[in-house]
Structure 1
Amino acid sequence: MSIQTPPRLLDLAARSLLRIEASAIAALEYLPPELFPPLFMEAFYGNHRETLKAMVQAWPFVRLPLGGLMPKPHVGTLQAVLDGLDILLAQKDCPRRCKLQILDLRNTDQNFWRMWSGARAHVRSSSPLAPVAEDRSRTEQPLAPLELFIELHFTKRTMDEFLTYLIRWVEQRKESIHLCCKKLKIISMSKENIKNILSMVQLDCVQELEVNCTWQLSTLALHAPHLSKMRNVQRIFLSHVHVSPFEEQEQEQQHVAQFTSQFLRLHHLQDLRMESPSFLEGHLNQMLRCLKTPLQSLSITHCLLTEEDVMHLSQCPNIGQLHGLDLSGVMLTEFNLEPLRVLLEKVAATLQTLDLNLCGIRDSQLEAILPALSCCSELRSFSLCGNLLSMVVIERLLHHTDGLPVLDLELYPAPRESYSPHRVLHPERLAQLQAEVLKILRDLGRPRTIWLSSSPCPHCGNDTW
Structure 2
Amino acid sequence: VHAFLVSMIPSNFSCLRVLDMTGLPDSAPGRTPTGMSVWSGTVALAKACLELSKHQREFQRRGSKRHKGRSGTAAAAAPQPPGVDVHADLFVNGTSYGILRDALRSGAAGPLRLKCREFQAEELSAAGIAALLESLDPAFLRRVDLRFNNLGLTGLSVILPHLSRFPQLRSLKLQYSNVDVRRPTPESAIGIRCLAGQLGMLPSLRELNLGSSRLSGNLRQILCDLRAPLESLELSFCSLLPADLAFLSQSSHAASLKRLDLSGHDFSQGLLEPLRLLLEETSASLLHLDLMECRMADAQLAALLPTLRRCRRLRFLGLYGNSLSTAALKDLLRQTVELPDLRLVVYPFPADRAPPETSGWNSEESSDLEDVSVKVDAEFAGMLADSGRSDVVWTSNPYGHKDLDFFSL
TM-score of the two chains, using structure 1 as the length reference:
0.63
1:96 to 1:422, Cα distance in 2 relative to 1, 3 A: closer
1:212 aligns with 2:147: yes
Letter in 2 for 1:451: W
8 Å Cα contact 2:87-2:114 kept in structure 1: no
* Larger relative contact order (CA 8 Å, sep ≥ 6): 2
Identify which of 447, 450, 457 aligns with 2:390: 447
Rate the CA distance shift 1:76–1:302 in 2: closer, same or farther, 3 A: same
Residues 421 and 220 of structure 1, relative CA distance in 2, 3 Å threshold = same
Q: Quick check: 1:104 aligned with 2:42?
A: no
Q: From 350, 354, 359, give the equivalent of 1:415.
A: 350
Partner of 1:255, secondary structure, is helix
The within-5 A match list for 1:177-192 is 181-192=116-127
The 5 Å alignment of 1:223-242 reads 223-242=159-178
CA contact (8 A) 1:216 1:241 kept: yes
Q: Report whether the alignment pairs 1:79 with 2:77.
A: no
Kept in 2, the 8 Å contact 1:363–1:389? The answer is yes
- The 3-state SS of whatever aligns with 2:177 is strand
Give ranges in structure 2 of 5+ residues lacking alignment: 23-43, 64-75, 360-364, 402-409
CA displacement, residues 46-82 of structure 1 (integer Å, 9 cap, x when unaligned)? 86xxxx3xx59xx7679465989x8573333222446
Larger mean Cα displacement after TM superposition, 230-239 or 413-422 = 413-422
Instruction: For 1:311-322, list aligned pairs within 5 A.
Output: 311-322=246-257
Aligned CA distance change for structure 1 residues 423 and 160 (closer, same or farther; 3 Å) = same
> For residue 400 of structure 2, what is the aligned residue in structure 1?
459
Q: 2:341 aligns with which of 406, 418, 422?
A: 406
Q: 1:377 aligns with which of 303, 307, 312?
A: 312
Answer yes or no: is the 8 Å Cα contact 1:182–1:207 preserved in 2. Answer: yes
Match of 1:309 in 2: 244
SS at match of 2:235: strand
Instruction: Give the SS at the match of 1:181.
Output: strand
| Secondary structure of 1:265 counterpart | coil
Cα displacement (A) at 1:238: 1.6
Unpaired runs of 5+ residues, structure 1, are: 1-40, 88-93, 108-150, 461-465
Partner Cα distance (1:407, 1:43) in 2:
42
Give 1:209 deviation, angstroms. Answer: 0.6
Q: Contact 1:382 / 1:410 at 8 angstroms: preserved in 2?
A: yes
Q: Please tell me whether residue 45 in structure 1 is matched to residue 4 in structure 2.
A: no
Q: 1:265 to 1:445 in 2, by over 3 A?
A: same
Q: Per-residue deviation at 1:286?
A: 1.7
Contact 1:263 1:291 in 2 (8 A): yes
Query: In the alignment, what sits opposite 2:188?
Result: 252
- Percent identity (aligned): 26
Aligned residue number for residue 153 of structure 1 = 91
| Alignment RMSD (CA, Å) | 4.3
Query: SS of the counterpart of 2:212?
Result: strand
- Counterpart CA distance in 2 for 1:366 and 1:198 is 44
Cα distance change of structure 1 residues 60 and 328 upon mapping to structure 2, 3 Å threshold: same
2:210 to 274, 277, 280: 274
8 Å Cα contact 1:288/1:313 also seen in 2? no
Once the two structures are TM-superposed, the CA of residue 378 in structure 1 deviates from its matched residue by 1.7
Deviation (angstroms), 1:387: 0.5
TM-aligned CA deviation for residue 374 of structure 1: 0.8
Say whether the 8 Å CA contact 2:86–2:115 is kept in structure 1: no
CA separation in 1, counterparts of 2:182 and 2:150? Answer: 15
Question: Residue in 2 aligned with 1:289?
Answer: 224
Q: What SS does the aligned partner of 2:226 have?
A: coil
The answer to whether the Cα contact below 8 Å between 1:203 and 1:226 also exists between their aligned partners in 2 is no
Give the 3 Å change call, closer, same or farther, for CA 344–78 of structure 1 in structure 2.
Answer: same
Contact map agreement 2:133 2:163 (CA 8 A) in 1: no
Q: Post-superposition shift, 1:423? A: 9.2
SS in 2 for 1:397: helix
CA spacing shift, 1:181–1:314, aligned 2, 3 Å: same
Q: One-letter code of the match for 1:104? A: D
Counterparts of 1:135-146 in structure 2, within 5 Å, are none
Structure 2 distance, partners of 1:268, 1:46, is: 36
SS of structure 1 residue aligned to 2:91? strand
Per-residue Cα deviation, 1:265-311 (whole angstroms, up to 9, x for no partner) = 22212222233223x22211122322222333222223321121122
Deviation, 1:386, is 0.8
Runs of 4+, deviation exceeding 6 Å? 41-44, 82-87, 94-99, 244-248, 420-426, 428-436
AA matched with 1:271: E
Change (3 A) 1:164 1:429: closer
